[in-house]
Amino acid sequence: MSLNKMTAWSIAGLVAMALAAPVLAQGDMLSGADAIARRQELMTTIGGTMRSAGGATGDARLAAAQTIVDSFAEVGMAFPEDSQEGDTKALPAIWTDQGGFMQAYTTAVTAAADLLAAAESGDEAAWGLAFKDLGAACGNCHTQYRAN
């Protein structure tokens, strides 16, 4: 490998690492069956936390919202190209319609961030609204990108 090529690869690697750092801090980059297992685990956590967050107040509500935000951040790393086959309900549309999937994902991430902000501020109306938006975001993505 020429020096120029090596430098280009090194820079690309550094940029990728810098971009991925905030998310990677929560877990290693995954692939294949590990990615499938991890995203199912994260989704289960998100689902369970949504249920308990509904009736939670104060610190418990704050902790629940934080768990949902953190779990969604990691979910973003759990759909690599090599995790389409196996024990998964993820539909091929995730990879053939990546723009649409990213949009569905971003909508959920935004709603989760709103939920956390509402938990921090103690604004009941904002909490209720964000909770409803987040619930809709789950359904929206599942309808399009998850097998029943």
Interface residue with ligand HEC among 30, 64, 108, 116 (CB under 6 A) is 108
- Distance in Å, CB of 126 to ligand HEC, minimum: 17
- Distance in Å, CB of 147 to ligand HEC, minimum: 8
- Distance in Å, CB of 10 to ligand HEC, minimum: 33
b/e per residue, 33-72, with b = 16+ CB within 10 A?
eebbbbbeebbebbeebbeebeebeeeebbebbbbbbbbb
Which parts of 57-96 interact with ligand HEC (CB under 6 A)? 88-90
**Interacting residues with ligand HEC (CB under 6 A):** 36, 39-40, 43-44, 46-47, 50, 88-90, 104-105, 108, 134, 137-138, 141-142, 145-146
